[in-house]
């Protein structure tokens, strides 16, 4: 795939992850009114279908990759925020977090150094899943004609332009792009599962960051 489209997809996914991690961490750690406001924003954003948002942007500013970039970026952070919020709510009640509070550590230090490292596994999994989802959404919208426009390359656009050849003499012109999408989505899902297993610190008998707190911070 074209390097520009690929880099923009990476940027979209990284920004969605960053926004979701930030809002989910704040909501799960502080709770109260802040949590209620962020949860309301999550629910409102979750209620807007990505496809409908893309249609609205297309009608407003025209077709193109940037419309998909904005629409997917505005909706994909929600799943990350919900996951991080639940994980932070559970971990903040553990003894080593309570000890860090009793020692007077700042909230930002507790969140960044002692909570977020222990939810890294689920974040990697959902990040890889979101990247796979973004690829599928972009390909589907390009196939419908409201996504990437020529001359920009897109596997979905290639399928759209060549699907008539499936019943003629060159079916591979449409099958190969579809197979490439399937392999790429599968690869990112397997990558996410592998990274989760590699960094799942809670799978050990004792949390590494909990150990570092007792050894060095106490």
Q: Which residues are within 8 A (CB) of 87 and not within 5 positions of it... i.e. 6 or more apart?
A: 24, 28, 118, 119, 122
Has residue 96 got a pLDDT over 50? yes
pTM of the prediction?
0.72
More confident residue, 15 or 131: 131
Average pLDDT over residues 186-209: 67
Q: Which residues are within 8 A (CB) of 56 and not within 5 positions of it... i.e. 6 or more apart?
A: none
pLDDT for 216 equals 38
The enclosing domain of 210 has a CATH number of: 1.10.3720.10
- Among the residue ranges 22-31, 61-70, 147-156, 179-188, the one predicted with the least confidence is 61-70
Q: What percent of the chain has pLDDT over 70?
A: 83
Has residue 207 got a pLDDT over 80? no
Model confidence at 74, in pLDDT bands (50, 70, 90)? confident
Average pLDDT over residues 72-91: 86
Has residue 208 got a pLDDT over 80? no
Q: What percent of the chain has pLDDT over 90?
A: 7
Has residue 176 got a pLDDT over 90? no
pLDDT for 197 equals 76
Structural domain span for residue 180: 3-217
Query: Helices 65-91 and 32-46, interaxial angle, to 10°?
Result: 140
Total domain count, the chain = 1
Has residue 26 got a pLDDT over 60? yes
């Amino acid at each position: 795939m074209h390097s520009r489209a690929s880099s923009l997809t990476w940027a979209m996914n990284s920004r969605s992850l960053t926004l979701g991690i930030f809002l989910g961490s704040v909501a799960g750690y502080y709770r109260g009114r802040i949590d209620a406001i962020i949860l309301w924003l999550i629910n409102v954003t979750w209620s807007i279908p990505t496809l409908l948002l893309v249609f609205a942007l297309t009608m407003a500013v025209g077709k193109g990759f940037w419309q998909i970039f904005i629409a997917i970026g505005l909706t994909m952070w929600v799943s990350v925020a919900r996951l991080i919020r639940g994980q932070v709510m559970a971990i903040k009640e553990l003894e080593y977090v309570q000890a860090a509070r009793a020692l007077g550590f700042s909230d930002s230090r507790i969140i960044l150094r002692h909570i977020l490292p222990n939810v890294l596994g689920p974040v990697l999994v959902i990040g890889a899943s979101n990247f796979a989802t973004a690829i599928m959404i972009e390909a589907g919208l390009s196939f419908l004609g409201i996504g990437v426009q020529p001359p920009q390359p897109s596997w979905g656009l290639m399928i759209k332009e060549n699907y008539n050849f499936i019943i003629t003499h060159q079916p591979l012109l449409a099958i190969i792009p579809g197979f490439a999408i399937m392999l790429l989505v599968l690869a990112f899902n397997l990558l996410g599962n592998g990274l989760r297993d590699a960094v799942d610190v809670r799978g050990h008998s004792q949390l590494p960051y909990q150990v570092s707190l007792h050894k060095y911070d106490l």
